[in-house]
Structure formats: C-alpha cells, structure tokens
Chains A and B, each alone.
Chain A
C-alpha cells in the first residue's frame, strides 16, 4: 500500500510539473508577453516596469526558475485587469465553483448509479434501451446547446427560472442540469458496463442459489463489486468532464466560479490570471485523480494486499 501511495504521488508530481512547464514555455514562445498582453496604450516607463516586475529581461532559464519559485512562496503576480494578486482572485472563485460542482455531483450520483444498474439488469427489456437512448442524447448534445435550449424554454418563454448568477437556489437549477447532463451520461454508461461484467460472474449464481432475494443479489453482490470499477472511473473521466463542463456552464450562466474566470480572462487576455487558473484547475483534477486512485486501491482488497 505504501509503495502504491508513493508511486501515485510521484506520478502526480510529474504530471503537474509537465503542465507547469508547458504553461510557462507556451507563454514565452510568442515573444515578450508584456507586448502581447498590454501592448497598446502602454507608456515606455510602464512597459519597463512590467518587464522588470515579471523579470522578463532575465535569461529564459532564470525566468523559469522564478516561475517555479512562485509555487514555493505563493507570489503568483498581479492581474492585469484588476491589479490584485492573482491567487486572491482565484481563491474567491473557489466556493461558487465547488457549490455548483457538488450539486451536480449529487444529482449525478443519485441518478446515474440507479440508471446504470437498471440498464444492466433490464438490458433486453425496453427499460434498458430507453435508458441507453437517453444516455446517448447526453453524449451527442453539446452542453452549450442544451443550456441555450433550457434558457430559451424556461427563462424566456415560460419565465420560470433566472439565468444569470448564483443568488438563489432557483439559480442552481439550470446550471446543475446542464453540468450533470454529461456526467450522468458518462457515469450511467460506466455503471452499466461494470454491472454487466459482474452479473455474469459465478458468485452471483452462488448468491442466488443460497436463496438471497434478487434485490440483495443485485445490490450487495452486484453493485458492491461493480462499484469499485465505477469508483475508478469517477476519478479519471468524471473529474475531467466536470472541470471542462464547469468552464462552459459557468460562462453561460455568468456563474462567479473559476470556469467563468478562465474564459473571461482568456478573452480579456488577462494572462497572469489565466496562467494561474489553468494550473490551479489542472492541479485540482490531478489531486482528485490521485485521491480516487488511492481510495480505489484501499477499497479493493485484492489491490490492498498486493500493495
């Protein structure tokens, strides 16, 4: 187990390091970032000041170490637009993003796992095919199109739901539906496949043979085992989908979260914010992956023993 933990940590750090390095060099290959970001309307002195502030006159390797150094002392620089520390801006956006994410995850787990189990158990029944058709819709409809259709119907035509911001619980409804849409599709599909693998196993027959009621067979023995596979997927696929989805959903509904921050700073070319935001979200996804990976190893007795 300890070996597994160390291995996961090592892999995490390598991925994180690769991302940070890529972000750094991508911003430097296009020339001097100051010209690129605030090229127009900048006096010579301001330009010189900015260059000195960001150490842009130093050799590229020195710049790189300074960039890495920011992760030690927490000095990530100032936003070009708001003239405030980047870290402060990003931290403010954390809570709204988390709220939306949690609400979408709750809806997803509450729907996707029962749906996936049902689709596997009744795979030859119309219930199974109906569920899989809906799942297919979730894959084929881009989430911004779904969002637009919802807004058109429920806000403009029916006038039931608010569109902008996160002020009241009603504001949560549409963003949660859109964000969980993709997640439900993905997780239902994975749950169904994992259940199908388990349903054919010998121990399922044994459980039935010893007279357990069908519900107990499916839930305890079936889902109990399939759950481990599903768990591993939540880390890799669902965390990534959720992060990508948040970017779109938050910017459509003007949700004051990190996703919206990333898009608006990309459009305004506020590049210290974008740079740090991308790294922060990537780090979050990497950490979630690692946590799920370790939980998975701990939840599966076979892996726990191998260690």
Chain B
C-alpha cells in the first residue's frame, strides 16, 4: 500500500478526476467497481448461482443470528446464495444494457443518418415512426412483445434496443442536417465524394461525441426498463438470476427474509445511481447540446 506521500502530485492525475465533484468521483469509483464485479463474476462468486441447498434455506447474512458461514449475504427460499445470484444478476443486467444500447444506437443511428442525408419521404417516414414511438409508453410495447415473442435473452436484447432507438434517430438527424449545410460537406460534394464516403468520413466523426453521451444516458433508462420487466416476471426467465426478478420473487418472503430483496435492490440502486451521474457528467463535459429536434 502506498503511503500518502508516495502518491503522485495532483497534476499527474487525469484532469477529468480533478475536475469532478465528490458525487461524481464516488460515482466513478462505484461504477468501476460494479463493472469489475460484473466482468469477474464467474471467478469471484462463491457458489454456483443455481445451486440449491435444502438445509440452508432462508438463512440471513452471516453477521446475523442463524447466519451460516460461507453464505455471506444469506440465502433465498431455495437455499441459493444471495450474493452469488446478485453478482450474476448484475452481470446479466449490465450485459443486456450494453447490448440493448448498442442495438438502439445501430438502428436509430442508421435511420437518423438516412433521414438527415436523404430528407424528403425517408425523413418523413423515420420521423413519423419516431413520433409514434414517443407517443406510446414503451413499457406497454415491451410487455406485449415479451409475451408474444417469449422471454429469452435474445428477445430481451431486441426489446431493450427498440426502447431507445428514437433518441439516437432524433439526435443524429438533427446533427446531420446541421452538418450538411456546412461548407466542408459542400466541398466534399463538389470534389465528387460519394454519399457513403461523406457519411463515414465526414459525418460520423462529428457524431461520435453526441452518440457517446446519448449511449451513456440511455444505459440508465435501459437498466431501469430491464429490471422493471424482470421484476414483473416478464424478463429473462428463472432460474437465470436477474436483479429485478430477485426482488420480484423475493417480495413474498419480505417479512421474514428481507435480505433476499434488499441485496438485489441495493445492486440496482448503485448501478442506476452511478450510471445516471456518469451520464450527466459526460454530457456536461462533452458540452453536447442534445437537440430535441
């Protein structure tokens, strides 16, 4: 362990750290720990997430009376380790969130790019779809799609991807329309550049920072949606551990075994807090004005 005097002088620390306020620093640390936990889950989880133990059912965390050594945060109604399931749930939630946000980015980004570059009927069609999506609460659509298409991980990723595409489409279209009027695009046109060349060489580099910001911002709403759907029993199905389902199923045991609910609830809270704060922080730093239209 390095002592305080060994730490490098402040100017060597990255600027983003020095300029962050305490809440943001906390969010960065929490976020880093959560990502690390999620990545390393199979290595650090003490048990198999689905291993049941009939003699160790509904055990409280170790520091409480009746706690069983080894089961650090207690066991659930089937004698499964709550900490292990929490970690696996965290991993699944984060994986789904990243995949869903990426899918949304691809769909929305492509449609927004097409709408912005082509204009006319394409634009009207895309923006009409965007308006329709905004007009209807997505939880309803998700509920319906998951029931009809089944609750597999693949369907969940598609549903989560569809949840945010309209934001990307709006942002990209607005930005592309602004860029298309600038002289450098006109110059590229005159030099005989093909649309695909303009899109990849001239437009995309300018879209990176708003897209990265929107990606981070959308993670928190996607995590909320995923955990809500699993909580309602409509997410990835048991026995796969998801944070939402752990709370949803655990609520039946709440009076006697509150830890079954509290552990995943705390995981969810720390994820949404960290992601939300980091998203806002990134937006302010990148100084991107996310245009609504």
Contact = CB atoms under 8 A, between A and B. Distances in A.
Interface of A: 11, 14-15, 18-19, 22-23, 26-27, 30, 136, 139-145, 148-149, 151-152, 156, 236, 240-241, 243-244, 247-248, 251-252, 262-263, 266-267, 269, 271, 274-275, 278, 281-282, 285-286, 289
A30 B149 contact: yes
10 contacts: A15-B135, A26-B145, A142-B268, A156-B254, A243-B139, A247-B139, A262-B140, A262-B143, A269-B147, A281-B137
Interface in B237-293: 244, 247-248, 251, 254-255, 258, 261-262, 265, 268-269, 272-273, 276
A271 B147 contact: yes
A83 B210 CA distance: 52
A179 B233 CA distance: 20
A143 to B, nearest CB: 8
A19 B129 CA distance: 10
A26 B129 CA distance: 16
A247 B143 contact: yes
B247 A148 contact: yes
Given A14-B128, A26-B148, A148-B261, A240 B137 contact: yes
A140 B132 CA distance: 26
Contact of B233 (A267, A282, A285): A267
Interface in B126-178: 128-129, 131-132, 134-141, 143-150
Contacts of A18: 129, 132
Interface stretch (B48-56, B71-79, B179-187, B220-228): B220-228
A266 B276 contact: no
B29 interface: no
- Name the residue in A30, A139, A144, A274 with the highest tally of chain B Cβ atoms < 10 Å from its Cβ: A144
Contact of A148 (B141, B149, B251): B251
A141 B232 contact: no
Given A243-B140, A248-B228, A251-B232, A152 B254 contact: yes
Interface of B is mostly: helix
Given A15-B131, A26-B148, A142-B272, 5 more contacts: A15-B135, A141-B272, A143-B228, A252-B251, A269-B147
Contacts of B233: 263, 267
A265 B129 CA distance: 27
A140 B251 contact: no
B234 interface: yes
B136 A286 contact: yes
Interface of B: 128-129, 131-132, 134-141, 143-150, 220, 224, 227-228, 231-234, 244, 247-248, 251, 254-255, 258, 261-262, 265, 268-269, 272-273, 276
Contacts of B273: 140
A40 to B, nearest CB: 16
Nearest to B231: A144
B138 to A, nearest CB: 7
Contacts of A271: 147-148
B228 A285 contact: no
A147 B291 CA distance: 34
- Name the residue in B234, B248, B251 with the highest tally of chain A Cβ atoms < 10 Å from its Cβ: B251
B234 A263 contact: yes
B232 A145 contact: no
A128 B255 CA distance: 38
B255 A140 contact: no
Contact of A263 (B143, B247, B262): B143
A274 B147 contact: yes
B144 A266 contact: yes
A248 B136 CA distance: 16
B254 A281 contact: no
Nearest to B270: A140
A48 B234 CA distance: 30
B137 A243 contact: yes
- Name the residue in A152, A252, A271 with the highest tally of chain B Cβ atoms < 10 Å from its Cβ: A152
A208 B150 CA distance: 61
- Name the residue in A27, A247, A252, A275 with the highest tally of chain B Cβ atoms < 10 Å from its Cβ: A247
A141 to B, nearest CB: 6
Nearest to A156: B255
Nearest to B145: A26
B155 to A, nearest CB: 11
Closest 10 CB pairs of A and B: A244-B139, A244-B137, A243-B137, A240-B137, A266-B147, A282-B136, A15-B132, A156-B255, A140-B276, A144-B231
A144 B234 CA distance: 14
B223 to A, nearest CB: 8
A139 B277 CA distance: 11
A143 B228 CA distance: 8
Contacts of B224: 142
Contact of A136 (B128, B228, B276): B276
A152 B260 CA distance: 12
A11 B135 CA distance: 10
Contacts of A251: 232
A282 B261 CA distance: 32
A240 B220 CA distance: 18
A145 B269 contact: yes
A289 B143 contact: no
B172 to A, nearest CB: 21
Contacts of A285: 135-137
